[in-house]
Structure 1
Amino acid sequence: MWVRVCSVLLVPLLWLGSAVGLVVAWEAGWGGDESAALALEMPATAVVPTSPVVPTSPLVPTSPHSFVADAARAVAPAVVRIDTEREVARQPFDPALLDPLLRDLFGDPSGSMRERGQGSGVVIDAGKGLVLTNAHVVDQVDSVEVTLADGLHVDGAVVGADSVTDLAVVKIPGSRDLRAAPLGDSEALEVGDWAIAMGSPYGLERTVTLGIVSSLHRNINSLGFADKRLDLIQTDAAINPGNSGGPLINATGEVIGINTLVRSGPGAGLGFAIPINLARGVAAQLSTGGQVVHPYLGLQLVPLTARRARDNNRDPDALLQLPERDGALVQRVLPASPAETAGLRRGDLVVGVADQPVPDPASLLERVERSSVGEPLPLTVVRGQRELSLTIKPAALPHTG
């Protein structure tokens, strides 16, 4: 089961079918008494030095703390906890349960209730008091309270949010004492690099977990989220509900991602973070109160491989003969969209964009995301037995709220 929101939702009801276990972890340093005796044949007047010999082996650490402690210490002052509240309508009871006795027992089901949520965030601009977090942490909330690393509680306001990239910026009072986290370069990451997750899982502030970068450029659509445009960092560092919006950092104490997704249930142990290079650009647009513009074509696409096409074409009951090539197959063209204007049709296979091959829908969407609204974008399309060259002008993705 995929858990899309990593924020903790606190409601005045008992959680059903789940239990939260608290695990206390500690970091053990190098220890133990080490001594060495050296028997030498010396004159009686010789003086044997009593100071210990300092080992020179590279396996012996020069600091009692690990690199994880040093990296976490560099970022910890910028990591915050975010508590939210919003008013939601109560779910009405089944009419069969509206017996007066049950009404007295459960109360009046009409009206509204206050719903509380919790997540994490990281300060990216101390002077302006800007905190980066996930959009789903602050989605449609009425109030935001931010707990700083020193325990101080301050009110926050949502400056802007982008549901497509699941990023948001919250503003708090800026001050000289506020610390911003150092931001790294997510494009410099390699699979196997250390990954350290920080945040407040289940409301447990200042939690640090360690893992590695398990994979890069993991397309979020392959995880079942068709309304997002993200290539995620996959990690085995423990990410739990409440870690949402907190930083994923590298071994040198730089933020490389924003925690956003976790796989729960069977096969758990998979966490995902938004690359900081993307988050940095989105945050720059949101911090001014503006909306993030995403170019779109108006196509619903499915991946097609030559092998899959051959299997389809051998079927005598196949409704459509497919081009036996790799590409992005057009399943639907949205009405009044740039794709309809450009003349694309259902069954077309997009195999190239701007002189670059398109082996799958993800590669096409990645190129579209890097394009500009209204800028002509050349496409190479296979339709039946013909290869066509079409030009499409991406439009701004409509905001759904």
Structure 2
Amino acid sequence: MDNNQFNNNEPNNEPNQQPSQRPVRPVNNGNGQPPRQRRGGGLWKIAVVALVSALIGGGVAYAGFSHQISNQASDTTVSSSSEPGTTQVSNVTMKNSTSMSKAFSKNKNAVVSVVNLQKQSNTDSSDPFAGLFGDDDDSKSSSSKGSLEEYGEGSGVIYANQNGKGYIVTNYHVVEGSDSLQVILSDGTKVSAKKVGTDEVSDLAVLTIDSKYVKGTATFGNSDALTPGEPVIAIGSPLGSEYATSVTQGIISAKSRTVDTTNSSGQTTGQATVIQTDAAINPGNSGGPLVNAEAQVVGINSMKLAQSNDGTTVEGMGFAIPSNEVVKIINQLVKNGKVVRPALGVRVIDLSTVDNSRIRSQLKIPDSLTEGVVIGSVDKNTPASNAGLKAYDVITALNGKAVNSVAQLHTALYNFNVGDKVTVTYYRGSSKQTASVTLSETQSQVEKNNSSSSSSSSRG
């Protein structure tokens, strides 16, 4: 078997790559530009017809709705006249405010726009020979001293104001690759922000701003208590800060969906359990809160499904990271600057991706075994080496739960803590065996940086 297949490292808790692309697409940073409207004579005709239709429909709707609001409205004046040009606006003032509008009001000052600023090279793009013969010292210096420009925007929510700092949670992919960060408050004030910690696996990041700029903080609710069908609102900056503090309403479509996640190279890194909602989540909403009727943040908006695997266009399928998971991750980020996760200390690849001839000649596994994770190499002084695992062993289960892919292996490992003992089921040739393994911390970011990113293998 070609060991080059295994020269990639596992995804870990200190990412440094460019924005992720996931099978379930993250709501990537928007450019803040609204779509252009078409011009033409036909548009006016369509608008007139639409207006007439809306007025007719509105009259029908009011007839059915008037009874419902009759006990909630103050003095109402409706002008009726047969004389043209004397129509007046009805003065209807609602006395009540819905729970969702109250939830929005309570959180709006805690929701911010997050601007990702990156250095841009000052190399003259009009020079046809620029970069043709590689970077010289001048061009490298120019790149390192390049001006900061807006790379993208997302959303965030202030959840704490402590020790002179306001703490903001947002998505990892919103701040990924940034050289500097800027936060735009609900009143339009722009302030600098600092990274406290980021975690690619959960797609979460924590930032801080000076506490004097904090206008409000949000409270986390219990995402485990959510019920499908209950109303929620999503608050954020769709298409950028031009539409900051926009609110959309929907329901909890499902409280526990499992979706695949990938890293910046498109490699599947694991699976995430997320909340599904039909509240509109658009580019720029990433990192904003999903709020329940009690004005509690029950999720952090992270991704949307725009197209199914067969190419079918999908609407109304957004996903948020559950608040219980968010709290667990951000507490670790604040304390440690990273999230500590367990690992075996092996380089692995999906059995299904290995060439059949190599499977039979080198792995010598049973013909019936078609799914699992092949160990390409075992690092020294790791849980795997201490337990006696070797290259070409095929892992099929962890604590009795089937492991059919690298993604499933990562997901299974992340359910344990450093120091936990787990039972690994594996095949060595045609012999099915088990090993007791005491898990250790994931490999360092330095080791990951020194590895090739072109291979399809991963570390586990």
Tell whether the structures are fold-level matches, with TM greater than 0.5: yes
User: Could you say if the C-alpha distance between residues 3 and 351 of structure 1 is closer, same or farther in structure 2, counting changes exceeding 3 Å?
Assistant: closer
Is 2:30 the partner of 1:8?
yes
What pairs with 1:56-75 in structure 2 (closer than 5 Å)? 64-75=96-107
Partners of 2:35 and 2:393 in 1: how far apart?
48
User: Which aligned pairs between 1:198-237 and structure 2 lie closer than 5 A?
Assistant: 198-203=235-240, 204-215=243-254, 216-221=256-261, 226-227=268-269, 230-237=272-279
More helix by share: 2
Contact kept? 2:120, 2:148, Cα under 8 Å? yes
**Which residue of structure 2 lines up, in the alignment, with residue 376 of structure 1?**
421
Task: Tell me whether 1:257 sits opposite 2:302 in the alignment.
Answer: no
Give, in whole Å, the separation in 2 of the partners of 1:287 and 1:202. Answer: 29
CA contact (8 A) 2:372 2:394 kept: yes
- In the aligned structure 2, how far is the partner of 1:277 from the partner of 1:73? 23
Q: How far 1:272 moved relative to its partner?
A: 2.1
User: Which residue of structure 1 aligns with residue 45 of structure 2?
Assistant: none
Q: Percent identity?
A: 30
Give 5+ residue unaligned stretches, structure 2.
1-22, 38-57, 73-93, 131-141, 450-460
Alpha-carbon distance in 1 for matches of 2:279, 2:423 = 41
2:149 equivalent among 111, 115, 120: 115
1:62-119, CA deviations, whole angstroms, 9 ceiling, x for partnerless residues?
Answer: 9644443233223222111112311033687597588xxxxxxxxxxx8545431211
Change in Cα spacing, 1:86 to 1:301, as seen in structure 2 (3 Å) is same
1:212 aligned partner, one-letter code = I
Q: Distance in 2 between matches of 1:122 and 1:137?
A: 13
For residues 270-308 of structure 1, the C-alpha deviation after alignment (integer angstroms, 9 at most, x for no partner) is 32222221211111122235221121223546499xxxx
Deviations 1:129-148 (A, max 9, x none): 10101122222323322222
CA shift in 2, pair 1:338/1:379, >3 Å? same
Once the two structures are TM-superposed, the CA of residue 120 in structure 1 deviates from its matched residue by 0.6
Q: For 1:247-288, what per-residue CA distance to the aligned partner results, in whole angstroms no more than 9, with x for missing partners? A: 112233211111122234652433222222121111112223
1:68-217 matched pairs, under 5 angstroms: 68-89=100-121, 112=146, 114-116=148-150, 117-127=152-162, 128-175=165-212, 178-203=215-240, 204-215=243-254, 216-217=256-257
Structure 1 residues 145 and 114, CA, compared in 2 at 3 Å: closer, same or farther? closer
Where do 5+ consecutive residues of structure 1 fail to align? Answer: 22-27, 36-51, 55-61, 99-109, 305-311
Q: CA deviation at 1:155?
A: 2.1
Q: Taking structure 1 as reference, are residues 96 and 67 closer, same or farther at Cα in structure 2, changes over 3 Å only?
A: same
**Aligned residue in 2 for 1:47:** none
Asked if 2 retains the 8 angstrom alpha-carbon contact of 1:379 and 1:389, the reply is: yes
Per-residue CA deviation, residues 299-340 of structure 1 (Å, 9 max, x unaligned), is 546499xxxxxxx9xxx99x96557589x6013434416445
Asked if the contact 2:172–2:205 (Cα under 8 Å) also holds between the matched residues in 1, the reply is yes
The whole-number CA distance in structure 2 between the counterparts of 1:348 and 1:341 is: 17
State whether residues 28 and 283 of structure 2, in contact with CA within 8 Å, keep that contact through their aligned partners in structure 1: yes
The alignment of Structure 1 onto Structure 2 pairs a total of residues equal to 343
- Point out which structure has higher relative CO (alpha carbons under 8 A, 6+ apart): 2
Partner of 2:89: none
Shift of 1:386: 4.2
Secondary structure of the equivalent of 1:259? Answer: strand
TM-score under structure 2 length normalisation:
0.62
Q: SS in structure 1 opposite 2:219?
A: coil
Q: Give the superposed CA RMSD.
A: 4.0
Partner amino acid, structure 2, of 1:208: V
**2:50 aligned partner:** none
Deviation at 1:245, TM superposition (A): 0.8
Letter in 1 for 2:296: E
1:213 Cα offset (Å): 3.1
Shift of 1:371: 2.1
Structure 1 stretch displaced more, 243-252 or 391-400: 391-400
Q: How far apart are residue 163 of structure 1 and its match?
A: 2.0
**Matches of 1:222 and 1:163, distance apart in 2:** 9
The 1:201/1:365 distance shift into structure 2, 3 A limit, reads: same
Would the alpha carbon gap of residues 95 and 176 (structure 1) be closer, same or farther in structure 2, given more than 3 Å must change? closer
